Amino acid sequence: MKYIYPAVFSPEDSGYSVEFPDLPGCCTCGDSLEESLSMAKDALSLFLVELEDEKQDIPKPSSIKSLSLEGNRFASLINADTTIYRQTLSNVAVKKTLSIPQWLNQAAIANGINFSQVLQDALKQKLNML
């Protein structure tokens, strides 16, 4: 299931707090705007997964234009795909076979590189999941 909800960002002394007006109790924060956006997506996804699991009604999202914002607060739309989020929660390892140049393999082994972790980190970064 895919959803898009407006989130309200409030600047704090250190970072931002984030709340979803349509989803009471769904809130988070981050030390930077980038982290706050990432945390907002995670909080929204988890909140919606819980509503789905408990077979509760999913509130309709408000129009971002209908939000009343004061001071330095601002709104942004946050998307969530609960199907993909559930897959990240399951975190079952899948074996993959890949090829890299021999010199790169030797250098990585010599430096104690964990190939699986590097691939996971690179894929998360490429997919904007960090």
pLDDT digits (tens, 9 = 90+) for 19-73: 999 999 999 999 999 999 999 999 999 999 999 999 999 999 999 999 999 999 9
pLDDT at 93 over 80: no
pLDDT of 109-129, one tens digit each? 999 999 989 998 999 899 988
The arithmetic mean of pLDDT across residues 6-14, rounded, is: 96
**What distances in angstroms separate CA 32 from CA 38, 42, 78, one per listed residue?**
10, 15, 16
pTM recorded for the entire structure = 0.70
* Domains contained in the chain, CATH given: 2-91 (3.30.160.250), 93-130 (no CATH)
Q: What is the pLDDT of residue 89?
A: 81
> Can you tell me the distance from the alpha carbon of 28 to that of 43, in angstroms, rounded to the nearest whole number?
7
Is the distance from CB of 78 to CB of 26 less than 8 angstroms?
no
